[in-house]
Amino acid sequence: MAMAVAVLAVAALALAGAASAAGAGPGAEAARVAAALMDPQAPLPWRAAGLASLSRLPAWGEMGLSENCTRDLLQMAYSFGNGSAWAIKMFDASTKIPDGLLGGHLVHLGNFDECLSVRRGEGDGSPGFDGQHCLVAFSAKLSGGEEELGAQEDLDEWQTLLHAVQSSLVLHGRTQRVEEARDIPESGALVSMLSYIPIQLAWCTPSTCTPQDLETVALAAVNLTSLKATATVDPAKCHTHVGKTLRGVDVFAICLLAVFIACAAASTVYDVLTEQQDQRRPLFLTFSIYSNWSKLIAVTNGANQLTCLNGIRTISMCWVIIAHVYGMLALMPTVNILLFAKDFIESFKRLVITNGSLSVDSFFVMSGLLLSFLFLKEVERTNRFDVVKFYVHRYVRLTPAVAILVLMSVTLLGYAGTGPLWDSQYDPLRRACEKNWWTNFLYINNYVHSDEMCLGHTWYLAVDMQLYWLSPLVLLPLWKLPKRIALLWVSFLMLIGWAISFTVVYLKELSPSFVAGGDLQRTDTMKYYYWTTHTRYVPWLMGVVLGYILQEARKKKPEFPKWTIALAWVMSTALMMTALNAAYPFQQMTWVYSRVEAAFWLSLFRAMWSLGLGWIIFACDQGHAGIVNKILSWNFFQPLARLSYGLYLMHIPILTLFSGVVQSPMYLADVTIIPYFFGVLLMTLAWTIPMVLLFESPIILIEKSIFAGNLWRQREQPGEYRTIENPSVGEGGSSQA
């Protein structure tokens, strides 16, 4: 273990006193630095840093650093020895010898704001520089058992640590290394961790030093040890106080936002001033904050509404967000990821998080249900299928909000935060959207460039839209064909869906759990199973059938004996609990992969969940759900359900913002994560409401008015713009997850 800790200690010392160490060599400047470092009045940590490596690091000239960096690092070291405030701030803002490594305290951020506040003016031959905050990543190479255990009685503790390392690798997306880590001697667990999850140390340096300069110094420090290790400096993790310059697309986004705000202000004034007058043009009211807010918070309970969907939609949306919060926090700086990871992955009680993708299937069920329910209701009323309206309405309903989100994500979001991890967290999102934004507008991003998807959570919208495009293949038979033939056709499609899922999982050897299997296997699971329409449509199809059943039940309510209803509740609960919890064995490190088990599980468990949820919806609608229906139909859920689409779109950019601005590590525990979740939820709500009022609601109203032919009608009918349909049955089934 000593060797592993040595590289960390030397690295930290090198970062604290790199200028002094590198200055060892001939020349008056190096001698002056050395003298300052060995001054008994100098702070002990600084003297220790210099003395520990002064005579061992190569001469500065041999390291190939730039002239400016050489000069300013030496000046920083000398000024620190003389007690200059700016140099002390730079040292204070840098990482010292790390603590908590064995618990998973792997990212040490120093003091970001203090470092960036440093301004070194001209003098002593230097044109001056600013403080630059960089993260240096150290990765140890496996030493193949070179470590000394030290004491035999420590073996059990090291075995526990090794298991925690393996769990942490899974949470950090490095699961391809788990099998290798299993073969490492127990005493090499720390080295294993350093190899796959690098330790990152903050270094406050002169802005004249490039990432390559800093990497060279760090590597020189590492080379003092016999442990094989690497040191890298990602340019995205180096920051100065210099702000960003507005680009043309940023200016366009600001102007567009200003136009919408101006329209909202004018429309609201028009709405308020003409409220008591008879002549009102609907077009001028579409952007009114007053009217749109009234519709957003309105509570309506009509006989034909499926009010239980409000609760299911809201709860499912919160489930999606909290699952993503847990996933995001696992990749953020923490002090105890190793201690938390093993318990999290192998814990039975946290299956609700690790199996949180079932919330998406709830949305698929609701989407299919609302689509068939509304379609059959409409065609029975009009006896015609308006193909143009069918497709245009759906595209206009979803796309404007997506377009605004993509535009704001690549422009204004970049100015919303700063921090040591900001560029590394935000830049991948920005680059993916700048490159592949068009796939989102065509709703093909789950198949085209899915490995670099713009706003990765929008895969669901692509699947949902593709199913909508194909839905007439199911809806028209349900409308035109005899009931038995139509249901046989749908059943056949379900069997095909199960067969496709089984075959894909079996042939590709996909993982039955998102926290099991190798990294490549996990990536393939997302690409070939999780994001693809042909493997995810069965829950949606079950929702379509449920909508058909509910429509038929509205015509003639079926009667069931009480024992049948009780049995249905028991079976529904059993199905949903099995789907949620039966994946537990797959998440254990001792589970041996089986293609057959994985294929059966992935092809069936989502259908089990959907079938159980289908009964709950049916029971609520038919009056067999009692207190369950009262809870799910609570009026409080109606406004939140109307916001669910916006919440879904906005929560990932908000999570990116939260993770990018972090400047200190977090202690992972349920009691600290839950408040974090509520913070993310409230912030997402704060961003979603303006987006809905400014963009989503006005565009939907314009589209509805165009199809209704009343865009320029002058007289408003009583209550027409003061009420709103229940969105669960009023927006064409626009559920999302």
Kindly tell me the burial class for residue 474, based on how many C-beta atoms sit within 10 Å of its own C-beta (0-12, 13-18, 19 or more). buried
Mean pLDDT of 78-89: 75
First to last CA, the chain: 46
Asked if residue 736 is part of any domain, the answer here is no
Helix and strand tally (H, E) in the chain? 33, 5
Radius of gyration of the chain, Cα coordinates, nearest whole angstrom: 30
Query: Are residues 471 and 559 located together in one domain of the fold?
Result: yes
Q: What share of the chain is helix, strand, coil (3-state, %, to 5)?
A: 65, 5, 30
Asked if residue 62 is part of any domain, the answer here is yes
Asked if residue 452 is part of any domain, the answer here is yes
Looking at every residue in the chain, the average pLDDT score rounds to 81
Asked if residue 367 is part of any domain, the answer here is yes
Q: What's phi and psi for 127, nearest 5 deg? A: -75, 0
Query: Are residues 546 and 643 located together in one domain of the fold?
Result: yes
Q: Regarding predicted confidence, which is higher, 247 or 719? A: 247
Domain ranges, residue 218: 2-239
Look at the block and give the residue holding tokens 């340019």: 235
Mean pLDDT of 526-538: 95
Asked if residue 737 is part of any domain, the answer here is no
Q: Is the pLDDT of residue 711 over 80?
A: no
The distance from CA 519 to its chain's CA centroid, rounded to whole angstroms, is: 18
Instruction: Say what the pLDDT of residue 606 is.
Output: 97
Token pair of 117 as six digits: 């506040």
Instruction: Say what the pLDDT of residue 431 is.
Output: 95
Do the beta carbons of residue 317 and residue 648 sit within 8 Å? yes
Q: Regarding predicted confidence, which is higher, 737 or 534? A: 534
Query: Are residues 449 and 558 located together in one domain of the fold?
Result: yes
Domain count, the chain: 2
Domain boundary among 183, 214, 239: 239
In angstroms, the CA 189 to CA 141 distance is 12
Strand spans (E) along 473-555: none
Convert 383-439 into a string of H (helix), E (strand) and C (coil): CCCCHHHHHHHHHHHHHHHHHHHHHHHHCHHHHCCCCCCHHHHHHHHHHHHHHHHHH
Instruction: Say what the pLDDT of residue 194 is.
Output: 52
Query: Are residues 645 and 701 located together in one domain of the fold?
Result: yes
Instruction: Say what the pLDDT of residue 152 is.
Output: 41
Domain boundary among 182, 209, 239: 239
**Residue 590 binned pLDDT confidence (cut-offs 50, 70, 90):** confident
Asked if residue 245 is part of any domain, the answer here is no
Query: Are residues 316 and 403 located together in one domain of the fold?
Result: yes
Q: Regarding predicted confidence, which is higher, 683 or 192? A: 683
Query: Are residues 203 and 295 located together in one domain of the fold?
Result: no
Query: Are residues 288 and 148 located together in one domain of the fold?
Result: no
Query: Are residues 258 and 219 located together in one domain of the fold?
Result: no
> What proportion of the chain, given as a percentage, has pLDDT over 70?
76
Query: Are residues 215 and 364 located together in one domain of the fold?
Result: no
Least confident window among 161-165, 568-572, 671-675: 161-165
**Residue 704 binned pLDDT confidence (cut-offs 50, 70, 90):** confident
Domain boundary among 239, 269, 296: 239
Instruction: Say what the pLDDT of residue 95 is.
Output: 73
Query: Are residues 230 and 289 located together in one domain of the fold?
Result: no
Asked if residue 244 is part of any domain, the answer here is no
Convert 333-374 into a string of H (helix), E (strand) and C (coil): CECCHHHHHHHHHHCCCCHHHHCCCHHHHHHHHHHHHHHHHH
Instruction: Say what the pLDDT of residue 293 is.
Output: 95
The neighbouring-strand residues paired with 137 are: 200, 232
Write the DSSP string, 89-152. Answer: HHHHHS--S---GGGT--EE---HHHHHT-EE-SBTTB--EEEEEEEEEEEEPP-SS-S----G
Instruction: Say what the pLDDT of residue 517 is.
Output: 59
Q: Is the pLDDT of residue 154 over 50?
A: no
User: Which pTM does this prediction carry?
Assistant: 0.84
Asked if residue 556 is part of any domain, the answer here is yes
Query: Are residues 81 and 198 located together in one domain of the fold?
Result: yes
- pLDDT tens across 183-194, in order? 444 444 444 545
Query: Are residues 373 and 489 located together in one domain of the fold?
Result: yes
